[in-house]
Amino acid sequence: MIPKHLTLEHLNAEIIACRKCPRLVAWREEVARTKRRAYQDQEYWGKPVPGFGDPNARVLVVGLAPGAHGSNRTGRQFTGDASGDFLFPALYRAGFANQPSAESRSDGLLLKDMYITASGRCAPPGNKPSPEELNNCQPYLERELEILRPKVIVCLGRIAFERILKIYSVRNSAWKFGHAALYRLENGIWILCSYHPSQQNTLTGKLTAGMFDDIWKKAKTLIG
C-alpha cells in the first residue's frame, strides 16, 4: 500500500498542473503577472493551489478558493491574506498548528491532525467560481477524501458545505448550512459548519474569534 503522504504528493502534482478551466487559468496568470503594488517584488505562484497539512489528519478543512493576492501569490491555502490571519491563530490556539501565522510556503508552519483544502483550486474573479468550475475541481476533493478518510470535515462557508453534500449524495432537506451546524453522514463522518473567515464576516462581527474557537474545540471533541 502506498503511504498517504506519497499519494497526496502525486495528487497535488496533478492539481498544480491542471488547466481545465480557461477563465480561471487566464485570471490567475494575469493576476500573477500584474501583481498588487505591495507585492511587486515577489514572485506569484499563479497556479492551482494544492491542499496541505498532516497526511494522517482526522480533521479535513474545506474552504472556497484561493484569494487572488493570498494563496494565488503564496501557493498555500489561506496563506498571505486576511482570512488566513484569522484562521491560523485560531488553529494555533486549538493545538492544530505549531505557530499562529502563515506568510509563505517556507515559514515553518506545520499542521497536526489537520489537512486544509478547498472546493476550487484557482483564484476566481470576484471570489466566485462558477458551478462548472467547481465541478471540474470536485474529483480532486473526492480523492483527498478517499486518501485521508477523515473523521470530521469542517466546511468553511456554504459552498464548501454544499460541495461535500454533493460528493456524498446527501439529499436531506433538513441539512442546512449555518454556523456551528453539525451533521453525521451514514459512514460516520461528522460535517461541522462554520462561517468563512473572510473579512466580510470577521470585520462585521458575523464571525468572532470566540465563535471560531468554539468550532475547533468541537472538532477536537469529535475526534476524541
pLDDT in tens, 52-110: 999 999 999 999 999 999 999 999 999 999 999 999 999 999 999 999 999 999 999 99
CATH of domain 4-223: 3.40.470.10
Cell numbers at 53, concatenated = 497539512
Supply the pTM of this predicted model: 0.97
Q: How far is CA 57 from each of CA 22, 113, 179, 181, 198, rounded to the nearest angstrom?
A: 33, 4, 23, 22, 24
> Cα separation of 4 and 47, whole Å?
23
Average pLDDT taken over every residue of the chain? 97
